[in-house]
Structure 1
Amino acid sequence: MTTNVIDLKNGVSATDSRWSYQSSEFIIFIDNVGFEKIVSANGFAFTFAGNGKLIQDWKTWINMGRDGYPPVDPLIFGQPSIAVSIVNMKTNAVVMDWGISIRFPEAMFAGTGASQASVCWKQNCDAMKAVNSAMAVDKFSGGMVKHLVFGCGSNNLSETATIADVGRLLGTRGTVMYTNKPKMIPISEAVANDLNVSSAVGKLSTGEHVPTAPCDAMYSSWSDEDKEKMQAALREIFPEKFNQ
């Protein structure tokens, strides 16, 4: 459940704020929980979609400062995977990206809402409007539109939760949507009447199930060349983490 727009023309990254768990029968989702899909560090903007646990690992590593351990394959290239873009906030230049669904010369899109967002951006060149457009038609995207302006750093991000918190909150504040029914049901009602939902909530609370921001890249594997390119990009951005 996600829409990511990286607007290189105007220097803005924008995303929805929905996280979800999906089975073959239902989707549990929650919006506006404070686990953001955008992170900035050392003058670079990281925009994520995909597996929430892997995104948490990236955030933890990014924020560990000089003592952060060098990233290794299980940390940043795990399965299910992620989509990630890294942009220099001074120049709007893309340092590295992987898992992008749609690419224009001046914009990139990822997530289940990428197609609609790309159509809107092509017409309006407005990242936040593009995310809103996707949320209007994509049930996998929702919540507040979060953004980061590269040049000045202006944003409405509020990193207050971990992915473990999101898993627990899905079981207390989430909403259930069954794949064969358009109606949305409060999680408490679904848990009381559906053992499968109840089981999923229990596994989300313990971390056995992981919330996601779905994208095509979740089901792809990094090539050795892509891994080397990402490692090189991270060495450039975080030399203090590698030169110890």
Structure 2
Amino acid sequence: MTTNVICRTKKLLTSDSRWSCSIVGYPDHIAFVDNTGFDKLAVRQAHALVFAGDGELIAAWKAWFTAKSLDFGKMPGFHRLIPGTNILESIVISLVKKPSCDVMFSSGNFMAHGEEARFSGSGAQFAKDCYARNLCGRTAITTAGQSDPATGGETKFVELETGSTNLTVLQATLNELKNALNVRGFVMDTTTKTVTPINAWQPGSADAKRAIVSSVASISAPTGLPTRCWSDQEQNEFVKALREVEREEAAMQ
């Protein structure tokens, strides 16, 4: 689960840095890891993407979007089945223009504070309520983390006008993210909010260890909502918006 904010008044994108997965057979528990260097924001010359959803799909889209040129013949997909299961995962994407913070495309559900800001992810309501009081995209992420168990870690940001950012320069890979979860992650009982280091959770239980291994395949920044498939129209509209990115970049050269 995650929290993202698109703040138009301050031309700011923010997100938390927690990645998590549900644990098979333990419905009231999640495994999570913070501050991995695998960010939920991606930036090009004059545009940015804001992500939520499946980690593998996000990794593919980040790599595609941040490549030297946009290769429309090798675009990633929008859905995938978890290997060995019939569980469908998808991705949520917003395409934002720099420095205006105009949203060129957005899929999935979001909350809005008038025309000033948009909020998505499992912590969206908490972030929106905070923003209404403080008008700060950074504070909104921190506040959401106090109430949403699957929002947390360092607040990542991109200032669209100044270019200032704390995104990781050398992005971690998806495998590095999964390894970080296995090595230094935690398990949270979402009912009691009790947090246990992943290596100390249910010691001696082979079933618990197998559940963790099985669950890591679906590590994500979930929206807190059921998986939502992209329609053909949405896919076409996103490609159209990305073609506009390509044209604008060509005009800048």
TM-score when normalising by structure 1: 0.89
1:182 CA drift (Å): 2.9
CA contact (8 A) 2:35 2:154 kept: yes
Show the counterpart of 1:5. 5
Query: What is the letter of the counterpart of residue 206 of structure 2?
Result: L
Deviations 1:150-170 (A, max 9, x none): 001101111431122111211
Give the match's secondary structure for 1:155: coil
CA gap 1:200/1:165 in 2 versus in 1, 3 angstroms: farther
CA contact (8 A) 2:51 2:91 kept: yes
Show the counterpart of 1:33. 36
Give the match's secondary structure for 2:128: helix
Question: Which residue among 81, 84, 104 is the counterpart of 2:90?
Answer: 81
Show the counterpart of 2:182. 171
1:67 CA drift (Å): 6.9
1:20 CA drift (Å): 0.7
Query: What is the letter of the counterpart of residue 161 of structure 1?
Result: A
Deviations 1:118-164 (A, max 9, x none): 01112221100111110111111000111000001101111431122
Show the counterpart of 2:218. 210
1:55 and 2:65 aligned: no
Give the match's secondary structure for 1:108: strand
Distance 1:42 1:142 in 2: 28
Deviations 1:19-47 (A, max 9, x none): 01112242110000000011111311211
Q: CA RMSD in A?
A: 2.2
Give the match's secondary structure for 2:203: helix
Show the counterpart of 1:97. 106
Show the counterpart of 1:185. 196
Give the match's secondary structure for 1:231: helix
**Unaligned stretches of 5+ in structure 2?**
81-88
Question: Which residue among 157, 182, 187 is the counterpart of 2:167?
Answer: 157
Which structure is higher in helix share?
A: 1
1:189 CA drift (Å): 0.9
Distance 2:28 2:205 in 1: 11
CA contact (8 A) 2:21 2:31 kept: yes
Distance 1:218 1:126 in 2: 28
Query: What is the letter of the counterpart of residue 14 of structure 1?
Result: T
Give the match's secondary structure for 1:54: helix
Distance 2:226 2:55 in 1: 10
1:179 CA drift (Å): 4.0
1:194 and 2:212 aligned: no
Report percent identity of matched pairs: 32
Deviations 1:40-60 (A, max 9, x none): 113112111111100001011
CA gap 1:226/1:137 in 2 versus in 1, 3 angstroms: same
